[in-house]
Amino acid sequence: MALLLLPGGASGGASAEPSDLEEAAGVLAPFKRDLMQALQDGLAQGPVEAIGACQLRAPEIADERSRDGVRVGRTSHRLRNPENAAPDWVAPLLEAYVGNPADRAPRLVPLPGERAGYVEPIGVKPLCLTCHGETLAPAVAERITALYPDDRATGFAVGDLRGLFWLEFRPSR
Ligand code: HEC
């Protein structure tokens, strides 16, 4: 099983068909939507409150969306929450994207048991800077440090690679 396929490399013939990529993107979509909704609901209360909302809701949403043979998550080369460390099959992909930050193309790789893995790079948007930017409001910085003493997820600029969404699923065909 060729698990160490690098971005840009051939990824096993049929497994890289656009239809598979589209299916994967569709399975991932509700996870992304719920996360963005939770972030926006949190930010409506204020940035410091939103940190707590992310801390509470992000893992719950990943659990809620990891059902029926599907597993989803987020990871990064600069983690805030160490529990978001990349699964084994994601780690080499993450490394490759970090080594070639201009590459933002999603990737599909075969996994054992007729399953597939899908990754999608996450870019930093202006909205993200409140909690991941170079300069944080003191109250925001304080709350983040209190909750995540090992935080490495600040200092980003708009357009930077923030990390990856990842998905494990069983393609329908
Ligand atoms: C209100 C503060 C806040 C904002 C704004 C915010 N985040 Fe986060 N982010 C967090 C917190 C808190 C965590 C840790 C969540 C957890 O414990 O799983 C996190 C975790 C992450 C992770 C998971 C990897 C890791 O480092 O643990 C990614 C990826 C991420 N954020 C991307 C983004 C992106 C992209 C945006 C903009 C669309 C954004 N964040 C906006 C607070 C924020």
- Atom in ligand 1 nearest the alpha carbon of residue 47: 1
With the most atoms of ligand 1 within 8 angstroms of its CB, the residue from 132, 156, 160 to mutate is 132
- Atom in ligand 1 nearest the alpha carbon of residue 50: 1
Q: Which residues neighbour 35 within 8 Å (Cβ) at sequence distance 6 or greater? A: 57, 58, 61, 74
Summary mean pLDDT of the chain: 92
Alpha-carbon gap, residue 86 to 81, rounded angstroms: 11
Instruction: State percent of the chain over pLDDT 70.
Output: 90
Q: Take atom 39 of ligand 1 and give the residue whose Cα is closest.
A: 128
Alpha-carbon gap, residue 20 to 26, rounded angstroms: 10
Whether 6 shows a pLDDT value over 50: the answer reads no
Element (H, E) at 47: helix 47-64
Alpha-carbon gap, residue 143 to 161, rounded angstroms: 24
Q: How far is CA 91 from the centre of its chain?
A: 12
Reported as a single tens digit per residue, the pLDDT across 13-50 is 445 567 889 999 999 999 999 999 999 999 999 999 99
- Atom in ligand 1 nearest the alpha carbon of residue 52: 12
For ligand 1, the distance from its centroid to the CA atom of residue 89, given in whole angstroms, is 22
* Residue among 130, 118, 135 nearest 170 (CA): 118
Domain ranges of the chain: 17-169
> Any idea which residue has 């930050």 for tokens?
101
Cβ-contact 147, 51 below 8 angstroms: yes
What are the pocket residues of ligand 1 if the criterion is a CB atom closer than 6 Å to any ligand atom?
39, 42, 47, 50-51, 54-55, 58-59, 74-76, 79-81, 84, 122, 124-125, 127-128, 130-132, 153, 162-163
Assign 119 to helix, strand or coil.
Answer: strand
Q: pLDDT-based confidence at 87, cuts 50/70/90?
A: very high
Q: What's the average model confidence in pLDDT over 95-102?
A: 96
Alpha-carbon gap, residue 71 to 111, rounded angstroms: 13
Q: pLDDT-based confidence at 12, cuts 50/70/90?
A: very low
Q: Cα-atom radius of gyration of the chain, to the nearest Å? A: 16
Whether 7 shows a pLDDT value over 70: the answer reads no
The pLDDT value given to residue 16:
56
Whether 4 shows a pLDDT value over 90: the answer reads no
Count Cβ atoms below 10 Å from residue 34 Cβ, excluding itself. 17
> Any idea which residue has 């801390």 for tokens?
55
